[in-house]
Amino acid sequence: MHRFRITELNEGAFQLRGQERDHLVRVLRLRPGQELLGFDNSGREWLARVEKIDEDCVTCSILAVREPQVEARLQAYLVIGLTKGEKMEWVIQKGTELGMAGLLPLRAGRSVLRLEGKKAAERTERWRKIAVEAAKQSRRVIEPTIAPVSHWQEIKRLLPEETQCLIAYEGETSRRLLAVMEELDPVKPVAVIIGPEGGFEEAEVAWAEQSLKALPVSLGSRILRAETAALAALTLVLGYGGDLG
């Protein structure tokens, strides 16, 4: 059944506007009487029927509400150094399917991709759309948050309070991510910081250790591409938390 992001929720009904309305009318060509699912990022989902199609809005009447247990209990975040090409898109799409709670694109020292001002805002908007689509496709009821492109100093403010940070660093040879998970508080969010193609500068790792209390971790003895490292780390964290596999 088709799923839509609710624009406005009222007693017994909801509205879809903008892109969601257009998708329903123009692409899927749903008609009054047909059933669909709506979600509003609260963790709930509504079975509903299309009642009325207007120029700017579709009104749906609610038939049933439910709270599917699809969201990961452990909130896992990725902080990833800006990478070139479609890698960020790929990580956002796959990370959303895997169950990440959010992603923060980082202006790392060796990031080849430089995004500033309007360009950065436009790209963030595009990444958010990818997250919404992937959330719908994977039947999630809460979309991951995609933070604006940020500097190191902004990470703390943009992650939930008490987030436990790990920094994936190939220079760390003894401390493995899975071993570190055993030392963390199982109910507090976890963020894994991943470097860009060229990796982190040593000073960045030192800064993260000091300012974010981030623990450097190894992902194994092979060097992974940034996007592989991001998804491998996310899979390990969510798998450890019992939310995958």
Binding site for ligand SAM (CB under 6 A): 168-170, 194-195, 197-200, 218-220, 222-226, 229
- Nearest distance in Å: CB 220, ligand SAM: 5
User: With respect to ligand SAM, which residue has the nearer C-beta, 22 or 170?
Assistant: 170
Residue 38: beta bridge partners? 4, 46
How far is residue 159's CA from residue 233's CA, in Å, rounded to a whole number? 17
User: With respect to ligand SAM, which residue has the nearer C-beta, 43 or 198?
Assistant: 198
- Nearest distance in Å: CB 210, ligand SAM: 18
Task: Give Cα separations from 230 to 87, 92, 140, 165, 206 (angstroms).
Answer: 10, 10, 20, 14, 20
User: With respect to ligand SAM, which residue has the nearer C-beta, 15 or 235?
Assistant: 235
How far is residue 106's CA from residue 155's CA, in Å, rounded to a whole number? 8
Ranked by CB distance to ligand SAM, the top (closest) residue is: 195
The residue whose two tokens read 């009104």 is 59
How far is residue 217's CA from residue 166's CA, in Å, rounded to a whole number? 7
- Nearest distance in Å: CB 120, ligand SAM: 21
User: With respect to ligand SAM, which residue has the nearer C-beta, 38 or 199?
Assistant: 199
Locate 42 and state its tokens.
């609260």
- Nearest distance in Å: CB 73, ligand SAM: 25
The answer to whether 94 touches 138, Cβ cutoff 8 Å, is no
Residue by residue, DSSP assigns 94-153 as HHHHHT-SEEEEE--TT-S----HHHHHHHHHHHHHHHHHHHHHTT-SSPPEEPPSB-GG
- Nearest distance in Å: CB 199, ligand SAM: 3
- Nearest distance in Å: CB 44, ligand SAM: 36
Task: Give Cα separations from 218 to 51, 119, 153, 190 (angstroms).
Answer: 54, 33, 23, 16
- Nearest distance in Å: CB 205, ligand SAM: 9
HSE of 80, CA atoms in CB hemisphere, 13 A: 29
The answer to whether 141 touches 237, Cβ cutoff 8 Å, is no
